[in-house]
Amino acid sequence: MSQAIGAPALVHARPERSAVLGRVAVWTLIATGLVIIFVPLVLTVYLSVFNEQLITFPPRGYTLSWYPAIAPNFGSAIVISLELAVGAVAGSLLLGLPAGIALSRYRFPAKGIVSTLLLAPLTVPGIALGLAIYLFLVLIEIATGWPLTGSLIGLILSHLVITMPWVVRLSVAGLANHDRAAEEAAASLGAGPLRVIWRVTLPAMRPAIIAAALFAFITSFGNLELALFLVAPGVTTLPVAILEYLEYHIDPLVAAVAVAQMVLIGGLLLILDRFVRLGQVVR
């Protein structure tokens, strides 16, 4: 008490000093964050132009010759990864959107369990999931004779497990703020349940659907753990191909592939941004 009375000037000065400190702290955090995010990216681009067989620092010179080497070494893996990602996106939208709509719109028994099950795969370590799926597919193969392991179909099915949670999650979120009355209005105007979904619910979910497709694509395209068990000669995804390559070589080609992958996904984001404002989608 007596201190407060004795030092009015200090009381005035304190908020200003703490405000300055706070601002410094915030900017330091922002700068640290940016460094953590961008340094690896910049470094990867930098490494990809080293004219070295082994990555050594500082390099003796620079070259762009690693880039033309991507296609012969990783071309087929990139194609497989793209096919896989597109298949996983299509499949998870087909299954995940109806699930998301059902979860947010209807009441049914065991809704909580269904919701948890659909989101659970995100909580299981990828490698454990990969092993489990591999064993499961082998069992199916033995029982039916369908060649699932080492096939694109097998890969797509396994990736659905990790892409679906994103789709379900985002479609539930996308409907959270949607006015249910719009659906009732459509019904009162003569639209049956399916037409209500097609004409009103899905259009309202457009940003969520695009975000879901995006997340599913990136999740699938970058996945290593599941694919590790399911690839076969000729059916190898890009992350697995990179890993295999790294076992024998540590040269800038890997950095060049990484840059190519960044450009691919970055380009995809730019294209999408033309159709929807991504800032609004991933709120």
Partner 1 sequence: MTVAREASSLQLRGLSKRFGAHVAVHDVDLNVAAGEMIVLLGPSGCGKTTTLRMIAGFLAASSGDILLDGVSILGLPPHRRDIGVVFQSYALFPHLTVAQNVRFGLEMRRMRRDAADARVAEMLRMVKLDGFAERLPRNLSGGQQQRVAIARALAIHPRLLLLDEPMSNLDAALRQDMAREIRILQREGGITAIVVTHDQSEAMAMADRLVVMRDGVMEQVGRQEDLYERPATPFVASFIGQSNLLRGRLADAFVTDGGAQIRLAARYRASGNACLAIRPESIRIAEPGSANARAGATVRLCTYLGAVLEHVVRLDGGEELIVRGAGLGPDAARRHDSGAKVALTWSADAERVFDDSDRPAEVAAAEPVMTGEADRSWAR
Q: Under the rule (CB under 8 A), what is the footprint of partner 1?
A: 179, 181-182, 184-192, 195, 199-200, 203-204, 206
Structure tokens at 268: 């995809």
By C-beta, is 131 or 202 nearer to partner 1? 202
- Please, which residue, 2 or 177, has the CB nearer to partner 1? 177
Query: By CB neighbour count within 10 A (0-12 exposed, 13-18 middle, 19+ buried), where does 17 fall?
Result: exposed
Q: Are 204 and 183 in contact (CB under 8 A)?
A: no
Asked if the bond preceding 58 is cis, omega within 30° of 0, the reply is: yes
Provide the minimum distance between the beta carbon of 173 and partner 1 in the complex, in angstroms, as a whole number: 17
Per-position b or e across 128-150, b if 16+ CB within 10 A of its CB: ebbeebbeebeeebeeeeeebbb
Are 200 and 186 spatial neighbours (Cβ–Cβ below 8 Å)?
Answer: yes
CB of 276 to partner 1, least distance (A): 12
The Cα–Cα gap between 58 and 56 comes to: 6
Q: In terms of CB distance, is 189 or 270 closer to partner 1?
A: 189
At its nearest, how many Å lie between partner 1 and the CB of residue 212?
18
**CB-nearer residue toward partner 1: 204 or 243:** 204
113 vs 181, which CB is nearer to partner 1?
181
Coil vs helix vs strand at 235: strand
CB of 183 to partner 1, least distance (A): 8
- Least Å distance between CB 102 and partner 1? 18
The count of other CB atoms within 10 Å of the CB of residue 120 is 11
C-beta separation of 134 from 149 below 8 A: yes
